[in-house]
A and B are shown apart, each in its own frame.
Chain A
Amino acid sequence: MVEYDQRRSRESFSGLAERFAEPDTVGYMTGEHPALALRGLAKSFDGKIAVAGVDLDVPAGSFYGLLGPNGAGKTTTLSMAVGLLRPDAGGAWVLGRDVWADPVAAKQLLGVMPDGVRLFDRLSGGELLAYHGLLRGMDPAVVDKRAAELLDVLALADAGRTLVVDYSAGMKKKIGLACALLHGPRLLVLDEPFEAVDPVSAALIRDILQRYVAGGGTVVFSSHVMEVVQRLCTHVAILAEGTIKRVGTLEQVRGDRSLEEVFVEVVGGRTATGEELAWLSQ
């Protein structure tokens, strides 16, 4: 059953990703600007610094992984980058358009899947896609067509009219991704797209994202799963304590070591416990 779904999705998929990756704004040259540029982004909550000045250039066409331990400021950074959270200082540009000065233009080019944010989950999957599509000003006929394809590819069509609130965690991630992809954004910003997703769905999401990038789109995603990042990304930035610690292409950051080694070294975590938890071994 699963294999069959996989195969079918790959087949029906060929045209899909490329079509979504086509620029919706005609004549917009992707080469001129980085897909996403962050300058001096900073945010503190109640006097506690969450992000302390992040500069980042995400080249167009790259598959960019934002790595960091829990609480490093990944979600805060991405939220400020896409216009969900107003920064204390600094700015963000999507393909040269200022997210905070010209939000309408910037948001048209963006597809976002936030983490820890509810969807409008009292709608069914199809209804949610229709809502997102129309909200983006798309033609209803196009919405119908793309939504049907997406539901099919993501194996969500069987859920029918089940409300998203009754979906499993993995299904919620998938419908969130579908909502972000629907309007064919130039830049996809995903917060923890692989969290709480089973291996089959994860493979499917990976496949979709790779095709999207191959078709000229740009993906930025946050994660703390080294293995996924190492397999997918062309570029990597390591974020810890609100600042960028390492940045560059995967090879530059990794050198000849494994990404995990570099990550643990940069973050400065503790890798072994001492005597403290002796009572754990009976």
Chain B
Amino acid sequence: MAVPVGTPADAPVGAPMGAPAGAPGSAPMSAPAQPVRRVSAWHFVRLKLRVMGNNFRGQGWRVALFVLGSFFGLWFAVSAFFGLAAPGLAGNDRYALLVAAFAGGLTVLGWLLLPLVFFGVDETLDPARFALLPLPRRTLVTGLFAAALVSVPTIAVLVALSGLVVTAGVFGGWSAAAVAAVGVVCGVLLCVAAARAVTSAFATMLRSRRVRDLAAVLLAVVAALLGPLQIAGLAAIQDVDWNRLTGVATVIGWTPLGAPWTAGIDVAQGRVWAAPLKLLITVATIAALLVWWSRSLESAMVGAASSGPAQAKPSVTGGVVAQFFPRAAGWLRRDRFGALVAREARYWWRDARRRANLITIAVVGLFVPVMVNLGGQGFTLDSEEGFSLAGETSPALVSLSMLFVGLLAAVTLANQFGFDGSAYAANVVAGVPGRLELRARMAAFSLYVLPMLAVVAVAIALVLGEPAWIGFMAGTLVATYGAGLAVNSFVSVLGAYSLPETSNPFAMNSGAGLIKSLLTFVAMIATAALAVPMVIAAALLGDAWLWLGLPLGLAYGVGAALLGGYLAGDVLDRRQPELLAAVTPRR
């Protein structure tokens, strides 16, 4: 990781504030009429590299994780590169447009949606930090945009999609390759701009408590767009009607989703006139996205500085204890456990970051099973979790999709202490026993998740027209969720990391981004391994499983969660202060 080594002139953003310090005895209390040095995007890039470098300083394990993450990213990128270059390498002209349009389109969609659903967006440079600096909005947006380009995923996507350049070059020679290269670079810019604009807009919306319901609906709609596209794509593939598919690809090629990627192919196939138009579409889209981003960026900066005046709400009658317990948790005893559960339950709703996670679970929990089972095959969220079982839906396939929902719900707790940040100090000072702490956190989260899982089981069973399956579907959900709680108890105690103290629910530190995806990945694999017996049972036991599924699943899930909390609680007792240090943001 090459980080520019500091020179005094290296404080990039402060540069315009710096009066000409080199001139001794000059009279310059007056503000310079013009910034001494213009702030360019390059300053932001250097600042980002510097922040990343400083994050690594003295943290060997972070460097190791970063190297590991970069390695995997590039490995995926290189394999994708050869996949996309395949039509060219095989000399098969027919698939060139298809591959470019679909692979490129899915990439853009992925950049658009994955940050919302899974990974968050890298906020190494938090826009709010720039609020006080005299920077024009245009400079700020281009700077932040340039800084956002400096990341492993961007490079990985650039490498992967360069496969299209090879394909274009094979069929159309150097000119086509050159156009394809321009197209791919523009496409990557489009991806990053889309990711930034969408997350920024959503963050602004989710921050305001009043529009949170609207935001939930919007997120659901965005996720719902996945469905029709997927079905159309799958239907097209199943028909193997290449002409029709080529037609779809042509249409996609004229939308911003496919335009940058197909320009080179068009040149290669003799439609030279199309290339400039498509590049124009791309550039216009990027510009529009950046304008949109700069709008929401402004409100993000203002919102971070002040969350508005405090409105005193009328105080309620009754004691503070009665007021503290939410109605849904009213049955809890008024003791330590009850207090922990009540506080967590309040936080899952009041903390925008946590609420965003709950919404994700609800949306994905309903959509993935529907896609998997009605689409028949291949909802490829990522290559590891791809369900490629063909044909009719079966108990095993349904169990597999339930397993995915269960582990997705549980993995939300992988950094449960990171949500608290330094506020966790209160529990350390009070000396809360680890086992109590973990059990209470599981219980509070389950107050929200178990009803959701019940809805998922019932809804999916009805959609599939197999009401008799409700039992084992719910059993699999609970078993996976319970096993996931156990696994994530350990992950959250041992692998906690701090989240930045902004109100952007999607924000995370760049170092943490990789760590999070790796830890999440490990937690998901471990959970899946623990829950796989439920799928095997569904495949082997036949009708008996319809009756045994629910009781066995419940017992397995509850048992696993309790055992996990028991064992991980012991670990927590021994490293409370270290955990606190890990989740406290460094300032």
Contacts and interface: CB of A to CB of B under 8 A. Distances in A.
Interface of A: 46-47, 82-86, 103-104, 107-108, 110, 112, 114, 116-124, 126-127, 129-137, 140-141, 143-144, 147-148, 151, 157-163, 165-168, 179, 278-280, 282
A147 to B, nearest CB: 4
A144 B432 CA distance: 21
A81 to B, nearest CB: 11
A279 B310 CA distance: 42
Interface string B20-56: 0000011111000000000000000000000000000
A141 B350 CA distance: 26
Contacts of B342: 131
A121 B346 CA distance: 11
Given A85-B581, A131-B339, A122 B311 contact: no
B324 A122 contact: no
Interface stretch (B9-17, B162-170, B419-427, B445-453): B419-427
B5 interface: no
Contact of A84 (B58, B321, B429, B432): B429
B320 A148 contact: yes
B542 interface: no
9 contacts: A46-B58, A83-B577, A84-B429, A114-B425, A117-B425, A120-B426, A135-B340, A147-B320, A279-B29
A38 B429 CA distance: 17
A119 B427 contact: no
Contacts of B346: 122-123, 127
A235 B29 CA distance: 45
Contacts of A157: 315
A53 to B, nearest CB: 19
Indicate the member of B346, B429, B432, B577 with the most A CB atoms within 10 Å. B429
B320 A129 contact: yes
Nearest to A100: B577
B480 to A, nearest CB: 29
Nearest to A167: B310
A135 B336 contact: yes
Nearest to A189: B429
Nearest to B420: A120
Given A159-B312, A161-B323, A163-B350, 20 more contacts: A84-B428, A84-B580, A107-B431, A117-B425, A119-B426, A122-B350, A131-B343, A132-B430, A134-B321, A134-B334, A143-B319, A148-B320, A161-B315, A162-B310, A162-B311, A162-B312, A166-B308, A179-B426, A279-B27, A280-B29
Contact of B324 (A112, A126, A168): A126
Nearest to A87: B577
Contact of A104 (B321, B339, B343, B431): B431
A162 B320 contact: no
Contact of B429 (A83, A129, A159): A83
B336 A137 contact: yes
B338 interface: yes
B311 to A, nearest CB: 7
Q: Lowest 5 A-B CB distances belong to which pairs?
A: A144-B319, A134-B339, A160-B315, A126-B320, A130-B324
A122 B351 contact: yes
Interface of B: 25-29, 57-58, 307-308, 310-316, 319-324, 334-336, 338-340, 342-343, 346-347, 350-351, 420-423, 425-432, 501, 577-578, 580-581, 584, 587
Given A85-B577, A131-B339, A148-B319, A122 B310 contact: no
A35 B127 CA distance: 47
A110 B423 CA distance: 18
Contacts of A280: 29
Contact of A134 (B26, B335, B428, B587): B335
Contacts of A112: 429
Indicate the member of B313, B315, B322, B422 with the most A CB atoms within 10 Å. B315
B389 to A, nearest CB: 43
Nearest to B19: A279
Given A126-B324, A127-B323, A279-B29, A140 B334 contact: yes
A166 B319 CA distance: 22
Contact of B323 (A85, A107, A126): A126
Indicate the member of B314, B320, B342, B422 with the most A CB atoms within 10 Å. B320
Contacts of A279: 26-29
B312 A134 contact: no
A179 B581 CA distance: 22
A122 to B, nearest CB: 4
Given A107-B431, A123-B343, A123-B346, A278 B319 contact: no
Given A131-B339, A135-B340, A280-B29, A123 B422 contact: no
Contact of B320 (A103, A130, A278): A130
